[in-house]
Amino acid sequence: MAINDIHTPVLLERCIELLAPALQKPGAVLVDATLGMAGHAEAFLTRFPELTLVGLDRDLEALAIAEERLKPFSNRIHLVHTVYDGIGEALDELGIPEVDGILFDLGVSSLQLDRVERGFSYSKDAPLDMRMDNTSELTAERILAEYSEQDLRRIFHEYGEEKLAARYAKAIVEAREHTPFVRSAQLVAVITAVTPVAVQRQGHPAKRVFQALRIEVNQELAVLERAIPAALEAVAVGGRIVVMAYQSLEDRPVKRALAAASSSSAPAGLPVELPEHKPLFTLLVRGAELASDDEKAENPRATPVRLRAAERIRRAE
């Protein structure tokens, strides 16, 4: 199966439109902080023939696919195996002090969702893995085996926003005393068995638990809290950042960071805003921009997307 058949980049034209003003100058550098299978990256390298791209990804399989896909642009790319909160270190090692554009496409990649054996899907039986980086040690199987009932309840509540977190945690701890959890179908069966029928009618009962486990395995929210400020620091004056999130949990820290960067730091009550208190960034879209109906119809994975973007207007003094 061709890459393009399994991977349609979300909001591609909108991302290009937002980042283009910062990328048209000679020597411009774009960081694709969530490279994946390089759908966005390939389009940017094609549209901007003088662009240098730095692609980051924690998934070695994705990096291998991206490297093959981007072979025609091999003299203009740097691919780095790192989690995206390592953006500062990656740029330092490449000798790049600042960049003109940064793109984040958060959440689970098409590759991870479509590879059943990676264990991200509750709808197909697979090993309970869920690692975005298969060189890391923590897996969903290990969490289900080792975490206390209290810790399981916490992650289901915080990362899955699951109302039945306590019930599910209790059922898992009771079930693992007899049989260890090694496959996703086992977990789905235990969750389904203790879920009221009325709740099951509202959607798959395991959806939020699987989301919570994935976030915990990959430390997604902790990484994101560090990554957005690091990315903002790397943006040059006139440079732009675009972030696409797919759930409220990951959109919130993005919203907070961009709001802080685009707000005055002057204490309340000052009659005149001093230059050093002026915002460092200006927002390019009002609130979170959603996909159009046409985009959703063409690419269903765009349905929950929330896009935010900003441009650096000055450096801190």
In tens, the pLDDT along 283-303 reads 999 999 999 999 999 998 899
Q: Residue 86 and residue 84: Cα distance in Å, rounded?
A: 5
pLDDT for 142 equals 98
Instruction: Give the confidence band of 243 by pLDDT, cuts at 50, 70, 90.
Output: very high
Residue 112 annotated as lining a ligand binding site: yes
What is the domain range of residue 150?
A: 116-218
The reply to whether 234 and 176 lie within a common domain is no
Residue 84 annotated as lining a ligand binding site: yes
Is the CB of residue 213 less than 8 Å from the CB of residue 140? yes
Does 169 reside within a domain?
yes
Q: Residue 62 and residue 37: Cα distance in Å, rounded?
A: 5
Check which CATH number belongs to the domain holding 194 and give it: 1.10.150.170
Q: Given 218, 250, 265, which residue is the final one in a domain?
A: 218
The reply to whether 81 and 32 lie within a common domain is yes
Residue 122 annotated as lining a ligand binding site: no
Q: Residue 142 and residue 217: Cα distance in Å, rounded?
A: 9
Q: Given 218, 238, 265, which residue is the final one in a domain?
A: 218
Does 88 reside within a domain?
yes
Query: How many domains does one find in the chain?
Result: 2
The reply to whether 63 and 76 lie within a common domain is yes
Task: State the residue for tokens 């869920």.
Answer: 130
User: Greatest CA separation found in the chain?
Assistant: 69
Residue 101 annotated as lining a ligand binding site: no
Residue 206 annotated as lining a ligand binding site: no
Provide the edge-to-edge strand list for the sheet that holds 281-283: 77-81, 52-57, 29-32, 99-105, 235-245, 306-312, 281-283
List, in sequence order, every residue forming a beta bridge with 99; answer none if it has no partner: 235
**pTM exceeds cut of 0.75:** yes
Average pLDDT score over the chain? 92
Residue 57 annotated as lining a ligand binding site: yes
pLDDT for 316 equals 83
Residue 64 annotated as lining a ligand binding site: no
Q: Residue 69 and residue 192: Cα distance in Å, rounded?
A: 41
Check which CATH number belongs to the domain holding 90 and give it: 3.40.50.150
Is the CB of residue 42 less than 8 Å from the CB of residue 70? yes
The reply to whether 177 and 252 lie within a common domain is no
The reply to whether 262 and 207 lie within a common domain is no
Does the pLDDT at position 123 exceed 60? Answer: yes
